[in-house]
Structure 1
């Protein structure tokens, strides 16, 4: 598996000299499988740059999975260039919820007055397949969903291929169990021994006091999860819209110090634009 991040910012895209290192685009992650399949997780604003990159390739067969339907994870979809190419084939898996949720979600995005181009006018060949709540396969990758602890619900995922595992848990509040969500112990078990974990780390502990039940975690809770699960690499994700590069670097250093003091070898880092990992 090759994992590449195209956007890791939370809630709304940002720009400016203070966020050049980690980037300002909202959630979009690309996975390249050994089987050649391309898996796209979420369609935040980062998907625009992914689309420009993919359009340079001759054959576009893509697979989409969504974590949930909040705006910052969908707002880039209409600007995904391959949608306007008749040579593009897209399979959208019915996640995070079964039945016709994914179809309705995408259709609403591209219905006037929200956007001038209708879903029915797209040139790409788009089809839908069943996915959540059961595990399913995309080429050589096994995809296992888990409910997120987040307002309006959603799904996190464990991607496994050739003995390697990537776990993606953004918009997951470890300090509060939302309706339909799970407890910390459940996410520890789900992430057990993962080679790579991206987890929501939007808040500092001080900030979190004012944001309980908003659906996001502190970096300290994400760190605890990673250490208890014994993951090899922990990527802090869903970066706060106000967080500067320097502030994020400071958080990463604090996390690394805690890991070192506990005698662990887990690598901790902030996930930024164009971060790339080969498993």
Structure 2
């Protein structure tokens, strides 16, 4: 599988010289199966660039999975260029968020006075698919979902293909169990021996002291999870909207020292926009 980041910023998109290295777009990740299917995780502002890329490369079908529907994870959807073309099919995972179906959530966001164009105005064949939940397959990808410790109905995902595993856990607070969230031990089990783990690392340890219960993890908790799960690589995601490139580098250096001091061969990095990896 091929994994590419189109946005890993948290809460709100940002711009400025201090954000060039890691980028300012909010959450959007592309996974391409060896069998060719394109799976998208979240429709943050990064999905705008991804959509242009898909149109340029004449991709006619894609699948969209949502971790949850907070603004920073869906706000880019109206600007997803494939939706403009009638020869495109977009399969969107259908489930409920606070009692609303995925379609109802999107319809509420894409209407006046919030947005001038409704969902039905787009030309693409938009299909809401309830089968894209719990355990399912898309092409050669086997996918499993797990509730995250964040908000009602938020999910993380595990992708497995040809013996390789990628785990994606954004907006997941390891230091506090939210309603329907899981224990740290369950997230360790879910991530066990993953080749690559991308995990929400919104806060430094000092910041987290005043933000417990806000739905995001601090660096030490993520490092501990990665070590106990024996993952191969750890990518830090949901980068705080105020975190400069230099400050992100400090967190990465801390992670690398932690793994080195504990004689662990886990690779640690922050996931930047346009980062790409093949498994």
TM, length-normalised to structure 2: 0.97
CA 1:96–1:147 in structure 2 vs 1: closer, same or farther (change >3 Å)? farther
Find the counterpart in structure 1 of residue 74 from structure 2.
74
CA 1:276–1:59 in structure 2 vs 1: closer, same or farther (change >3 Å)? closer
Find the counterpart in structure 2 of residue 26 from structure 1.
26
Within 5 A, what are the aligned runs for 1:52-201? Answer: 52-95=52-95, 101-131=101-131, 133-201=133-201
Deviations along 1:178-214, whole A, 9 cap, x unmatched? 0110111100000000011100000011101111111
Provide the C-alpha distance between the structure 1 equivalents of 2:51 and 2:227, rounded to a whole number of angstroms.
Answer: 35
Which consecutive residues of structure 2, in runs of 5 or more, have no partner in the other structure? none
Deviation at 1:102, TM superposition (A): 1.4
Deviations along 1:137-173, whole A, 9 cap, x unmatched? 1111111000010033400000111111110000000
Find the counterpart in structure 1 of residue 204 from structure 2.
204
2:93, 2:133 within 8 Å by CA — same for their partners in 1? no
Within 5 A, what are the aligned runs for 1:235-254? Answer: 235-254=235-254
Provide the C-alpha distance between the structure 2 equivalents of 1:270 and 1:56, rounded to a whole number of angstroms.
Answer: 28
Deviations along 1:19-66, whole A, 9 cap, x unmatched? 100001100000000111000000000001111111102242000100
Find the counterpart in structure 2 of residue 226 from structure 1.
226
2:98, 2:153 within 8 Å by CA — same for their partners in 1? no
1:65, 1:95 within 8 Å by CA — same for their partners in 2? no
2:97, 2:152 within 8 Å by CA — same for their partners in 1? no
Aligned residues: 279
Deviations along 1:215-250, whole A, 9 cap, x unmatched? 000011111111110000000010001101011111
Deviations along 1:108-153, whole A, 9 cap, x unmatched? 2211111111111110011121236520111111110000100334
Find the counterpart in structure 2 of residue 47 from structure 1.
47
2:31, 2:40 within 8 Å by CA — same for their partners in 1? yes
Q: Which moved more, 1:30-39 or 1:57-66?
A: 57-66
TM, length-normalised to structure 1: 0.97
CA 1:32–1:96 in structure 2 vs 1: closer, same or farther (change >3 Å)? farther
2:145, 2:155 within 8 Å by CA — same for their partners in 1? yes
